[in-house]
Amino acid sequence: MNQAIIFTDREEWDPIRHGVVCMAQVNGFQVYCCVAAQTLNDRYGTAAEPEQYIALFRQHRWDLDDELEQAILDEAFEDDGWVVI
């Protein structure tokens, strides 16, 4: 784990992005991250309700944080500055 990247423990469903969103602190700056519903379904099973997606996210949080961290390090940002997997 890179100590310059710290993920918050708060996540929520975003109906616009259709995914679970969280934030990371990167060298003092906030980076918005999203794990798309399709990613969660493809990897961990089918969910239908926001609460189910959040539960899948929480269950696999460590692996998802590692992947989001690597995307941040690789500077794989969307045009709007978000990191989406």
Between CA 35 and CA 44, with CA 38 as vertex, the angle to 5 degrees is 85
Q: How do the domains of the chain map onto residue ranges?
A: 5-84
Topology of the domain covering 5-84: Double Stranded RNA Binding Domain (3.30.160)
Q: How many CB atoms lie within 10 A of CB 37?
A: 22
- Model pLDDT for residues 13-40, shown as the tens digit of each residue: 999 999 999 999 999 899 999 999 999 9
Sign of the torsion formed by the C-alpha atoms of 24, 70, 79 and 58: negative
Q: What is the pTM of this model?
A: 0.91
Residue 1, pLDDT > 60, answer no
Residue 2, pLDDT > 60, answer no
| Bridge partners, residue 36, by sequence | 19
* Residue whose entry in the numeric block shows the structure tokens 């899948």: 56
